[in-house]
Amino acid sequence: MNAPTSGTEAKPVAYPHWEIDSIVADLRSLRVKSLENRNRGDRPPKLPSRKALIGILDGLSAALFPNRLGAPGLTEEGVDYFVGHTLFASLRSLHDQVLLELRFAAEAAGTNGNDPDREAAEISRHFAARLPQVRALLETDIAAAYQGDPAARTIDEVLVCYPGITAITYHRLAHALHRLGAPLVARIISDISHSATGIDIHPGAEIGDSFFIDHGTGVVIGETSIIGRRVRLYQAVTLGAKRFPADENGVLIKGNARHPIVEDDVVIYAGATILGRVTIGCGSTIGGNVWLTRSVPPGSNVTQAQTRSEVFDAGAGI
């Protein structure tokens, strides 16, 4: 005798017919056409891997700060072994990603005279040599965060919890790679940082020591920004470009200096937007929500009310 069934039993799901074969064919046609437009035939470019670079960043961070970001249970006797092993694995993987970028760039430019293997080895070797300098800079950033935030209880808390420290750690690594000739790998690292922290720093930006981003969500720092020593930013600050000049063919001009210079000991409060190649003089304070497109002298104190009064001076804007 069959057991009685309840009226609440789940019914089999009836999936629709998605015409997968047709969609795959259409996607392939679009993909091939895109590659042909870039003179690549049917050969997709082998680009650096975002997934691999996430693992590399984890390894490099652990090697830089093994007692806080490394493997649990490390003993004093085992720290150097852990750092050496982790560095070797991370640098070998980084070398492979840089090599992919250089081969891709050489193919795109149609240059056969370069030696991507030799260049990748040189870049990874010079990058490895800079890691102690990166660690020393990060020590100043961590100290600035601890000293600048009354909510910070310990140095360790700052390192493991503050998104601004994660962002500047990744930026200092990315900036070194950018300067050494691996801009695509550096840009992928900056995007990984952006995704993880909400802080968008272009790897080309130059940032001095003792840099602190408090809270951080929504901060944007453009490619040609120059930031001095002991600078503090709050959330939603933008250091951006005022305009994007184009050449006679309407193509945007790349690489020109178009972002702000922020000198030493400047504080920029939440929501401030500073645009163009302007200079914020040392020791200045820029108030929250200020929109600034002009340079200010050292020691300035710029507030939203002041910028409004300048805009509407002598009846302007009425």
Between 244 and 303, whose confidence is greater? 303
pLDDT of residue 215: 95
User: How far is 206 from 203, CA to CA, in rounded Å?
Assistant: 8
Radius of gyration of the chain (CA): 25
125 has pLDDT over 80:
yes
218-318, superfamily in CATH? Hexapeptide repeat proteins (2.160.10.10)
Please give the full DSSP string across 55-97, using - where no structure is assigned. HHHHHHHHHHSHHHHS-TT--TTTHHHHHHHHHHHHHHHHHHH
Q: What is the pLDDT of residue 314?
A: 42
- Quick: pLDDT tens for 201-230: 999 999 999 999 999 999 999 999 999 999
pLDDT band at 190 (very low <50, low <70, confident <90, very high): very high
For residue 112, name the pLDDT band (cuts at 50, 70, 90).
low
- Domain limits, the chain: 45-198, 218-318
**Side-chain half-sphere CA neighbours of 197 within 13 A:** 29
Kindly report the length of the chain.
318
218-318 and 45-198 share a CATH fold: no
Closest to 184 (Cα-Cα) out of 46, 34, 63, 88? 46
Summarize the chain as % helix, strand, coil (round to 5). Answer: 50, 10, 40
CATH T-level fold of 45-198: serine acetyltransferase, domain 1 (1.10.3130)
- Amino acid letter, residue 264: D
- Specify the pLDDT at position 313: 47
Taking only the tens place, the pLDDT of each residue in 246-292 is 888 888 778 789 999 999 999 999 999 999 999 999 999 999 999 99
CA distance 84 to 96: 18
Q: What is the 3-state secondary structure (H, E, C) of 152-188?
A: CCCHHHHHHHCHHHHHHHHHHHHHHHHHHCCHHHHHH
Q: Are 259 and 223 in contact (CB under 8 A)?
A: yes
CA proximity to 260, closest of 299, 224, 288: 224
The confidence score (pLDDT) of residue 43 equals 61
| Percent of residues, the chain, with pLDDT higher than 70 | 90
pLDDT of residue 108: 79
pLDDT of residue 307: 59
Q: Which residue has the higher pLDDT, 35 or 106?
A: 106
Query: Over the stretch 45-96, which tens digit does the pLDDT of each residue have?
Result: 689 999 999 999 999 999 999 999 998 888 888 999 999 999 999 999 999 9
Question: What pLDDT sits at residue 40?
Answer: 57
